[in-house]
Structure formats: C-alpha cells, structure tokens
Amino acid sequence: MNLESLINPPSLRHPQSRRAFVEACARMAFGTTVLPLLAPSTALAQGTARGRGFGSARHIIFLQLRGGMSHIDTFDPKSGSSKGPRGAVSAKGGMQLSEFLPQTARVSDRIAVVRSMSAKVGVHAAAQYLIRTGYEQRGTVQHPCLGAWAQHYLGASTKSLPSSVCINHNSAHGNGFFAPGLSPLPILDPDSGLQHATSEAGIPVLEKRLGLVKDVDRVFREKYPDENVRAYNEFYDATLQLMKSSELKAFDLTQEPAKVRESYGNSKFGRGCLLARRLVQHGVRYVEVSSGNWDMHTGLEDRMEEVGGEFDRGFAALLEDLTATGLLKNTLVVVATEFGRKPAFDGSGRGHYPKAFSTVLAGAGIKRGFVYGATDEQGAEVVEGEMSVGNLHATIGWAAGLPIEQIVMSPSERPFTVGNKSKPVLDLFA
C-alpha cells in the first residue's frame, strides 16, 4: 500500500463517503449526529456586472412542491375543456388564481407569478433534481443546490448556525461536487427541530476529548497536510461551536407565540414554513421546505383540498409573517415544482406535463402583483416569455448577488455555472 492510499484512501475520495465517515466519527466521539457546514468563507468574486435586483436577496426560502403541481388548478386557471373541479377567483394585483388558493389570493399583491415555465423532463426523480439544481442529471456528476453555490461564493452566513437547511426532506447531494460541508443540514420534522444537538457528556468533556484528538493527530497533520484530514478537524470545531451556541433556539418552534404557530396550520409544510422564517431571522441564508403528495393522477379535488390547502395556508402565513417582521424586503421566497399537469382533465386527475407549468417568486425586489409570461387557452403551450429552469436558477442567483457567469471547475474538470449558462429574467425585478 502506497502513501497516497494511506492518507487519502479511495473510500474517502467521494464526497458522500467522506460525509458518512465524518458523521460516524462524530457519533463515536461526541454521541451526536450534528453535521454543520464546514467550508471556509470565500469572498464574492469581483467584477460581476451589477444591475436591477442584483444582491437584493440576503436570504432564500425555496418551497419545493414535490410530485408536480397542477398549474391550471393553482396559479394559471383556465376555462373550457381544461377547467378542473374549481373555477378562478380574482385576486389582489389583478391576477386570476384558482379557487383552491383563497389565502394566497389575499396576499397575491406581494407575489410575481411566472406562468411560462417549460422543461423536457417528465419523470419525478429526474425533474425534481432539475428544479433543485438547475441541471439535468449527467452520469456520476452531482450538481450543487443554490445554497451550496451561495456558500461557495459568499462564505458562511452566520458564525455558529449552518448556512443552508433542508426541511421535510433528505438533503443528500445538496453540496453536489463541492465539499461535503456545503450540504444543507437536514431537518426531517420541524416540530422536533435539530436532533442530537446536545450530549450527556457535557461541553467541557467534549472540549477535553477534542483536545486529546488534536494532540494525537498533530504530528500526522503537520507531516501530511491533507484536505480530508483538515475537513475532519474543522468538522469537530464547527460541531462543538454549534452545540455551544445560544442560536440553537432558532430550531425550536415552541419559542413562537401560539397565535403565530396557529396561523401556519398544523401540517408539516406549514410548520416547515414557520421554521424557515425563524432560521432566516437568525441568519441562515438558504432554506428548502418540501411539500409532498402533489402527484394527482386521481382524486385531484380531494387532494387539492388537503395538500393544496396546507400549502395555501402555510405560504400565505409565511408572506404575512415575513412582511410583519420586515424580512420580506431581503428574503426571496420561491415556489417551485418539477412540472405541471396535463391540460386534459378526466374528471379525476391529470398526468405529468413538463411542457408548461408555473412558479412563484416574492420579496427581495421582485415585482408585486405581477404576472410574467403566459400559456394558451388550454394551458398546454407557452405563448409568451418562455422561462427555463436554468433561467429560474440564474434569476435566483442574480438576486442573491452571485457571479452567475463565473465558471467553476468540478473535480472531474468540467465547467459549471449557476443556472447552467442561462440568463436571469430581470423583468421580474421592480
């Protein structure tokens, strides 16, 4: 066995393997599964052209509706043969929304609806990957989510909390080809918050153990300054810092008044939206909140009453809360789904339809009460302002102040940019 294989074994060269190794070490030494983001700060690249909306979003809340939201039964209602079980309602700002979204209609003067999204991927897993990363899946390459891109360029957003958090869904591969430390911290249950953030041994004992580990490793670290060894030690330092932080209260929903908790509803999505607001309020830059069960091939009316109702209540409450706390000014809220549903309504449900669908943006300089793009009378074809998933990611990256044209080389020496070389849609900014 050669020296290279000793200090950088194949089992640790893949980012996910290194992540699993570090997590296992944490469990053995600290009795914890906390994995904070470890990457050192990186200054924003200089020379990026600035314009309308650039850098307006200090925080991003990305609401991912998994399963494929029907654009026709939400943000792009139609009449005639495409009409579903409910009609349209005139909302604030002059736009039309589905009757399934009464709470959103009440706050629609704060949102911009994009009715001209279009893609070519109609399979759930692949389409969800695309809407989350801005890239189609390509062999063994894993692409970063927006939170990882932002931390790569802007550095950590807080001293003790993670810069990215993923709620109600596993954040696997969120770092993409970046270091494992840029992966979002997963919170699978908003009510439970951050699990295993404390240890029965106590902080002084943990600090003593960490000191002993460093003493044992010192000679090896000095002789072989390997990236993986450095990440191993940075992990312990960051984990201990997080465990000692008073900011852990950001993950505790019981800190909120009962009236505020009630406004979001009792669903996991609603609670996730409330947790997202708390996290951005404490400095977390990027928060994903997932809502499932939007794959409505059958029983669309009942499912929209339940799942759509949970979304409607949680989304409206989030916008009102961000407005009341003053956070909407510098927080970009994005509602995204992997594709739309077929215009033809069979009386029960609709099939997959990536050719035309909708998304929503709000806050951080986005126009209010605004509709961008359009589909035809059936909701089948984009007839105005076609927008790709890459355009969406470039627009979000632009709002966050990222150098979206700057190329980053992956470990496999392939070039990538935020939004896959797409342009931001500046017409969405006021």
| Contact criterion met (CB below 8 Å) for 293 and 303 | yes
**What's the pLDDT at 209?**
67
**What's the pLDDT at 219?**
77
Domain check: are 78 and 109 in the same one?
Answer: yes
Angle between helices 124-133 and 389-399 (to 10 degrees): 30
25 in any annotated domain: yes
Q: Which helix (H) or strand (E) holds 96?
A: strand 96-98
| Strand pairing class (415-416; 408-409) | antiparallel
Domain check: are 179 and 264 in the same one?
Answer: yes
**What's the pLDDT at 373?**
98
50 in any annotated domain: no
169/196 Cα distance (integer angstroms): 18
| Contact criterion met (CB below 8 Å) for 345 and 339 | no
Region class of 244: left (phi > 0), else alpha (psi between -120 and 50), else beta = alpha
| Contact criterion met (CB below 8 Å) for 58 and 285 | yes
248 in any annotated domain: no
Expressed as residue numbers, the domain containing 14 is: 3-41+195-242
Domain check: are 64 and 166 in the same one?
Answer: yes
Q: Select from 161, 131, 144 the least CA-distant residue to 389.
A: 131
53 in any annotated domain: no
Domain check: are 280 and 202 in the same one?
Answer: no
66 in any annotated domain: yes
Domains of the chain: total? 2
pTM, entire model: 0.83
51 in any annotated domain: no
The number of residues in the chain equals 430
Domain check: are 210 and 313 in the same one?
Answer: no
**What's the pLDDT at 195?**
63
Domain check: are 23 and 144 in the same one?
Answer: no
| Contact criterion met (CB below 8 Å) for 210 and 236 | yes
Domain check: are 214 and 235 in the same one?
Answer: yes
199/204 Cα distance (integer angstroms): 11
Domain check: are 298 and 421 in the same one?
Answer: yes
* Token pair 């010192």: residue: 218
CATH value at residue 286: 3.40.720.10
**What's the pLDDT at 181?**
83
Domain check: are 232 and 374 in the same one?
Answer: no
Residue 223 main-chain phi, psi, to 5 deg = -80, -35
Domain check: are 185 and 199 in the same one?
Answer: no
Q: Cβ contacts of residue 230 below 8 Å, gap of 6+?
A: 221
207 in any annotated domain: yes
Final residue in a domain of this structure, among 175, 210, 242: 242
Q: Select from 63, 67, 62 the least CA-distant residue to 341.
A: 67
337/296 Cα distance (integer angstroms): 13
Per-residue pLDDT of the chain (430 residues; tens, 9 = 90+): 343 433 344 444 444 444 444 444 444 333 333 333 333 333 333 334 477 899 999 999 999 999 999 999 999 999 999 999 999 999 988 899 999 999 999 999 999 999 999 999 999 999 999 999 999 998 889 999 999 999 999 999 998 899 999 999 987 779 999 988 898 999 999 999 886 555 555 666 666 666 776 777 777 777 777 665 565 565 556 555 665 566 889 999 999 999 999 999 999 999 999 999 999 999 999 999 999 999 999 999 999 999 999 999 999 999 999 999 999 999 999 999 999 999 999 999 999 999 999 999 999 999 999 999 999 999 999 999 999 999 999 999 999 999 999 999 999 999 999 999 999 999 999 9
Final residue in a domain of this structure, among 242, 275, 308: 242
Residue 96 main-chain phi, psi, to 5 deg = -105, 130
Final residue in a domain of this structure, among 242, 276, 311: 242
**What's the pLDDT at 131?**
98
**What's the pLDDT at 38?**
36
Q: Which amino acid does the sequence have at 4?
A: E
Domain check: are 322 and 374 in the same one?
Answer: yes
Q: Cβ contacts of residue 167 below 8 Å, gap of 6+?
A: 187, 190, 272, 275, 276, 287, 288, 289, 290
State whether residue 264 is helix, strand or coil: helix
**What's the pLDDT at 193?**
84
410 in any annotated domain: yes
Residue 166 main-chain phi, psi, to 5 deg = -120, 120
150/182 Cα distance (integer angstroms): 9
**What's the pLDDT at 404?**
97
**What's the pLDDT at 22?**
43
**What's the pLDDT at 239?**
59
Q: Which long-range contacts (CB under 8 A, 24 or more apart) does 168-175 make?
A: 168/268, 168/269, 168/272, 168/289, 168/290, 168/291, 168/292, 169/64, 169/66, 169/288, 169/290, 171/288, 172/16, 173/16, 173/142, 174/144, 174/145, 174/147, 174/148, 175/15, 175/142, 175/144, 175/145, 175/148
Domain check: are 231 and 348 in the same one?
Answer: no
Q: Cβ contacts of residue 221 below 8 Å, gap of 6+?
A: 229, 230, 233
Q: Cβ contacts of residue 62 below 8 Å, gap of 6+?
A: 146, 286, 287, 288, 289, 334, 336, 396
State whether residue 205 is helix, strand or coil: helix
